[in-house]
Structure 1
Amino acid sequence: MQDGISDNEGTNPESTARVLGTMVVLAGAVAVFATDNYVTASLLPSVLSDVGGERYFAWTATAFLVSSVFAALLISKVLTRFATRGAVLIGLTVFGVGTALCALSPSIWVLLAGRLVQGLGGGLMSGVSLAAMRMVLPERLWGRMLAVISLMWAVGNVAGPALGGVFAELHAWRWGFGVMVAASVVIGLVAVRSLPAGGETGQARDQPADGAAAEPWPAGSLVLVTVGAAAVSLAGIVPKGAATGAMIALGAALIAAFLRHERHATDRILPALTYARGSRLRWYYLGIAGLTIGVTAETFIPLFGQRLAGLTPLSAGFLGAALSMGWSAAQLATSRITGEAAVRRFRVAAPAVVAVGLALTAAGQHAHAGGGAVALWVVTLAVTGAGIGMGFARFAFPVMSSIEDAAEATKAAAGLNVVQVIAGTFGSALGGVLVNVGAPSDQDSARLLYGGLAVLALVGLAAGIRTASRSGSSVVGTAAAEPAAEVAAAESVPAAA
C-alpha cells in the first residue's frame, strides 16, 4: 500500500492518476475562490470610488454570501444529478460569468448583480470541494485534502492581495476581475481533462445513493434561509434604530423557522442526524459556525487599513490576508496532533482564541495609526486566524465520518459548506450593521465591528465545551461513526418532533 492511497489505487495507475487529478481540481477550485476573496477585498475601495455606492460596501459581501447560501443548500442535489465534474464545471462557469459582470460594472447595482452571480458559482465551487471529498476520495486522504485546501487559502493569501493591490494602484481594477475570469477558465479546462463524468473515483462512486436522486427539492428550507439572510443584510442600510433592530429580529426569526422546518421535514438540507436527540453532529456544525464568524472580518480589514492607517491598496490587501495566513499556518502545524484528549482541547481552545484575537484587534483600532499599530493588527489578526486553523478540522472531520448511509453522508459533508456560508452571511451582514452604527467615525466603526464579531465567535466556544464534555467524541484522523442508537433516533426525528 502506498502512503495515502488505498490498495486499489496503489496497484492501479489509472485509478491513482484519477484520484490525484480529482485532488488537483478540487484544490484549484478552492484556490480560485480564495484568491478572488482577497482580490475583491483589495479592489473594493477603488471600485466604489469609481462606480459610487460606498454606503453599500457591506452589501458587496452580503450579496455574494446570500446567493452562496442558496447555492450551498443545493450542493448535494447538484452532485447527485451531475456528479463531481458536472458540479465543478457548473460552479466555475457561473462564477466566471459573475466575475465578468463585475469587471464590466458601470454602477453599484450592476456590481451587486455580478456579486450575486459570483456567489452562486462560488457557493458551488467551495461546497463541492468539501462534499466531493467525502464521495470520491479514500478516507485516508480526507485529512490530507483538508490540509491541501488550507494551503490553497494560503496561496490566495499571497496572490489575492498582490493582484488586487497592484491593479488598484494602477487604477485598472477591471483587469483584476478579468484575471479571475481567466483563472476559472483554466481550472475548468483541467477539470474536463482530469475528472470522470461519473462512475468510480477513489473509494466511492461519484454519485450518492440512488435514493438521493428521488428526494424532493428542499424548497421550504431554501426560501426561509435565503430570505432570512437577506433580511439581516437589509439591516445594514435601513435607518438606524428601530428599523435596524426589526430587520435583525426578522432574520433571526426566519432562521429559527428554517431550523424548525428542517426538523420536521422529509426534504432536508442537513442530515436527519443533526436533529436527533443527543446527537453530536449539531455541535460540530455550531463549532464551524462560530469559527466562520471570525473569517467575516476579512471583508472589512483592507477598508479600515486604508482609512485608519493610510495604507496603500496593496499594503491594505496584505493586511487583510493576515487572518488567513494565521489560519493556514496553524492548521498545517497542528494537523498531526490527533490524540482524542488533544482534539477535545483544541475544540475548546480554538473559538476562545478567535474571540480573544478579535477583541485585541478591536482594542487596537484608532485613527492615524502608525507602523507600530499596524504591526499589532497583523499579530492580533494572525492570532484570530490561528484559532480558526487549530479548530476547523477538529469540528469538520467528525461530520464527514459520522454517517454510513451514502445519501445522508453527502448531506453531512455538504452541510459543512451550508453552515459556513450561512454563518458568513450573517456575520458579514451584522458586521455591516455595526460599521454603520459607528459611522461617521471610522475608529468607532472598526471597534464595534471587531468587538461584535468577538462576542459572536463565543458560539463556537459553547459548542467546543459541549463536545469536549461528551464521552466518545469523534477524533480527527479516525473513522468514528456515530453510535447506532443515534442513527436510529435520527430516522425517527420527523415523527418524534
Structure 2
Amino acid sequence: MSDTVEGRWAEIFGPRYLPVTTILALGVTLFAFNAFLSAAALPSAVHELGGVEVISWATTLYLVFAIVGGAAAALLKRRLGSRMSLISMAAVFLVGTLIAAIAADMTQVLLGRAVQGFGEGVVAALCFALIPELFPSRLVPKVFGMQAVVWAVAAFGGPAGAGALTELISWRAAFLINVPFVLIFITMIMLVVPRSEKQADEHGFPGLRLLTIGAGTLLVALAAVAEPLHAVLLLIGAAVLLILAVWMDRRSAERLMPPDAFTLRTAVGSGLWVFLLMPVAGAATAVYLIMLLQQLWGYGPTQAAITAAAMAVAWSLSSVTVANVRQRSTRRILIRTGPLLLALGLVLVLLGLEWTQLPLLVAGQAAIGMGFGISNGYIMLTIMEATDSAERDRTSALLPTTQSAGNALGAALAGVAANAAGYPLATGNDEVLTSIIPLFVMAIAFAFLAFLAALRMVQLAKTAPIATFAEE
C-alpha cells in the first residue's frame, strides 16, 4: 500500500468496517473496565464478605491470568479459529463474572477474578490479532487511535461507573454490568467474524511454558508488596522464569511467541522491548501520583483523579491527532519522540511535586500521555509490518500481553524503589518528597532505555520488508 493513500476516520465507522470496529471497541472496553474495577467495587465487597487482607489479590490474579491468557491466545486461535476462540473465551470471562458477582466469600471473588482475567486476556489479544486480518494498513493507525480513546474513557470512567453502581445498587452490580456487554460482544462475533479452518493438533498443550510465564508474573506481583530485599530476590526469580519461558518457546515445535521475540536483532524484537519498557517507566505516576496528591497537597480522591487524568486526555487527543500521518519517516520520528516525551513528563511531574507547582505537574502528565499517544500506534504498526505473515498472529496477540507485563513489572519496580527509599515510613512532606526522588529517577532511566530500543527499532525497520495486511 502506498504511503500516499490516506485512510479516513469515516471508513472505520462506515458500513464495511463498523461491525468489526464495534467488536474491537467492546473487547478493549471490557479489558480496561475490569482492570480498573477492583479499586471502586471491591472495598464494599470486603466490607460485606470480609477478607481485607486479600483485597489486592483481586487485581493481581486478574492481571496474572490475563497475561497467561494473552500468551496462549495465538495457540488457541490456531486450534479453534478466531470465531470459536473469541466466543469461548468471552464465555469463560462471563463465567468468571458470574462467580464473582454471586460470591459468598472473598475466595470465590478471587476465583472469579482469575477466570475473568484468563478469558479477557485471550479476548484482548485476539482483538489485536484481528486488526491486520480485517483492516488494510492505511486504516490501522485510525483503529489504534480509536482504541486509545476507548481505553482512556474506560480508565477514567470505569472506576466512576463502578463506584456509582456500587453506591446506588451493590458491588455485585458492578460485576453484573459486564453481562449485557459480553452477550452483545458474542452476538457480534457470531454475526461478523467468519468461520476459519482449524489447524491440526500436532503437538501437546504448552502447559509448562504457560505455567512458567504465570509463575514469573506472579513473582513480579508479589514483589510489589514485599520488603525491598525480598522484592529484589522475587524480581530476580521472575526474570529467570520469564527468560526461561522465552528460551523454551524458541525451541518448541509449536511456539506461543514469534521466534525473534525480545531480541535486539530485529525490528519486531526491539519494538517489543519499547512496548514493554514504556509502561514500566509510566508506572511511577500511574501507581503513586493520586496518592501523592492527596498526601502532599491535601486533595480529595476526586480532585486527585481529575488532575491525574490529564495523562489519559493527552494520550487520547494525541493518538487521534497523529493517526493521519502517512509518511513512514514521520512515523519513525514519532516512535523515537514518544519515550523522550515520557522522560520529560516524568521530570516535570517530579519538579511539580517538589516545587508545589500544579501547572508544571499537569504539563508533565500531558507530556507523559502524549509520549504514549504519538508513538504507541506506530510502534504496533511497525511491529506488525515487520512481521512475517506466518508469525503475525503470534506477534499481534503478544502486544497487549507485553503491555500488561510492563504495567505489572513497572508497578513492582516502583514499589521496590519507593519502599527502599523509605516512602512508607515518611511522615512530613519533606521526607515524602525526598523519598520519591529515586522512584522517578528509576522511571526516567527506563524511559531512556525505551528510547534506545526505539532507535534500534526504527533503524532495523528501514531495511525490513513491509508486510501487507487485509485486502482492500
TM-score range normalised by the length of the shorter chain: 0.7 to 0.9
Cα pair distance change 1:94/1:145, threshold 3 Å: same
Contact 2:165 2:171 in 1 (8 A): yes
Cα pair distance change 1:242/1:436, threshold 3 Å: closer
Give, in whole Å, the separation in 1 of the partners of 2:142 and 2:214: 33
Give, in whole Å, the separation in 1 of the partners of 2:394 and 2:306: 35
Deviation at 1:166, TM superposition (A): 3.0
Deviation at 1:46, TM superposition (A): 5.7
The alignment's C-alpha RMSD in Å is 3.6
Stretch of structure 1 that moved more, 186-195 or 62-71: 186-195
Q: 2:466 maps to what in 1?
A: 480
Q: 1:251 maps to what in 2?
A: 238
Give, in whole Å, the separation in 2 of the partners of 1:178 and 1:387: 35
TM-score, normalised via structure 1 length: 0.78
Give, in whole Å, the separation in 2 of the partners of 1:322 and 1:105: 36
Secondary structure of the residue aligned to 2:81 is helix
Deviation at 1:268, TM superposition (A): 2.1
Contact 1:166 1:314 in 2 (8 A): no
Deviation at 1:381, TM superposition (A): 2.4
Cα pair distance change 1:275/1:316, threshold 3 Å: closer
Q: 1:491 maps to what in 2?
A: none
Contact 1:51 1:107 in 2 (8 A): yes
| CA distances 1:361-397 after superposition (whole Å, capped 9, x unpaired) | 344447xx99x64x65444223212111111122111
Cα pair distance change 1:379/1:37, threshold 3 Å: farther
Deviation at 1:350, TM superposition (A): 0.7
Give, in whole Å, the separation in 2 of the partners of 1:278 and 1:28: 36
Q: 2:375 maps to what in 1?
A: 391
Give, in whole Å, the separation in 1 of the partners of 2:97 and 2:446: 31
Cα pair distance change 1:182/1:303, threshold 3 Å: farther
Give, in whole Å, the separation in 2 of the partners of 1:24 and 1:411: 23
- 1:455 matched to 2:445? The reply is yes
Q: How does 1:17-96 map to 2 (within 5 A)?
A: 19-43=17-41, 59-96=57-94
- 1:439 matched to 2:429? The reply is no
| CA distances 1:252-301 after superposition (whole Å, capped 9, x unpaired) | 11122223223333332221244778322110111111223245453555
Q: 2:338 maps to what in 1?
A: 350
Q: Which one-letter code corresponds to 2:455 in the other structure? A: I
Give, in whole Å, the separation in 2 of the partners of 1:170 and 1:349: 44
Cα pair distance change 1:136/1:464, threshold 3 Å: same
Give, in whole Å, the separation in 2 of the partners of 1:278 and 1:117: 36
The counterpart of 1:340, out of the listed 328, 331, 341, is 328
The counterpart of 1:288, out of the listed 246, 252, 275, is 275
Contact 2:37 2:158 in 1 (8 A): yes
Cα pair distance change 1:473/1:392, threshold 3 Å: farther
Give percent identity, aligned residues only. Answer: 23
| CA distances 1:184-205 after superposition (whole Å, capped 9, x unpaired) | 3333333333333x14xxxxxx
Give, in whole Å, the separation in 1 of the partners of 2:166 and 2:442: 30
Contact 1:127 1:414 in 2 (8 A): yes
Q: 2:456 maps to what in 1?
A: 466
Stretch of structure 1 that moved more, 43-52 or 127-136: 43-52
Give, in whole Å, the separation in 2 of the partners of 1:39 and 1:462: 35
Secondary structure of the residue aligned to 1:457 is helix
Contact 1:42 1:313 in 2 (8 A): no
TM-score, normalised via structure 2 length: 0.81
* Structure 1 spans left out of the alignment, 5+ residues: 11-15, 200-206, 483-497
Q: 1:188 maps to what in 2?
A: 186
The counterpart of 1:271, out of the listed 252, 258, 262, is 258
Q: How does 1:293-442 map to 2 (within 5 A)?
A: 293-294=280-281, 296=283, 297-298=285-286, 301-304=289-292, 306=294, 308-309=296-297, 311-319=299-307, 321-365=309-353, 373=358, 377-406=361-390, 408-434=391-417, 436-437=419-420, 438-441=423-426
Deviation at 1:433, TM superposition (A): 3.9
- 1:232 matched to 2:210? The reply is no
Deviation at 1:126, TM superposition (A): 1.3
Cα pair distance change 1:168/1:154, threshold 3 Å: same
Deviation at 1:131, TM superposition (A): 0.6
Deviation at 1:26, TM superposition (A): 1.7
* Structure 2 spans left out of the alignment, 5+ residues: none
Secondary structure of the residue aligned to 1:439 is helix
Give the number of aligned pairs: 452
Q: 1:204 maps to what in 2?
A: none
Deviation at 1:334, TM superposition (A): 1.3
Contact 1:69 1:418 in 2 (8 A): yes
Cα pair distance change 1:237/1:55, threshold 3 Å: farther
- 1:122 matched to 2:120? The reply is yes
Contact 2:73 2:397 in 1 (8 A): yes
Cα pair distance change 1:36/1:244, threshold 3 Å: closer
Cα pair distance change 1:42/1:149, threshold 3 Å: same
Contact 2:262 2:270 in 1 (8 A): no
Deviation at 1:17, TM superposition (A): 5.3
Deviation at 1:303, TM superposition (A): 4.8
Q: Which one-letter code corresponds to 1:229 in the other structure? A: T
Cα pair distance change 1:337/1:54, threshold 3 Å: farther
Deviation at 1:66, TM superposition (A): 1.0
Q: How does 1:124-273 map to 2 (within 5 A)?
A: 124-167=122-165, 172-196=170-194, 198-199=195-196, 210=199, 214-238=202-226, 240-273=227-260
Give, in whole Å, the separation in 1 of the partners of 2:76 and 2:126: 9
Secondary structure of the residue aligned to 2:317 is helix
| CA distances 1:17-40 after superposition (whole Å, capped 9, x unpaired) | 574322211222112222333443
Q: Which one-letter code corresponds to 1:175 in the other structure? A: A
Contact 2:95 2:116 in 1 (8 A): yes
| CA distances 1:106-148 after superposition (whole Å, capped 9, x unpaired) | 6554443333222112211211110111233344432332222
Deviation at 1:319, TM superposition (A): 4.5
Q: Which one-letter code corresponds to 2:60 in the other structure? A: T
Give, in whole Å, the separation in 2 of the partners of 1:471 and 1:180: 40
Stretch of structure 1 that moved more, 67-76 or 153-162: 153-162
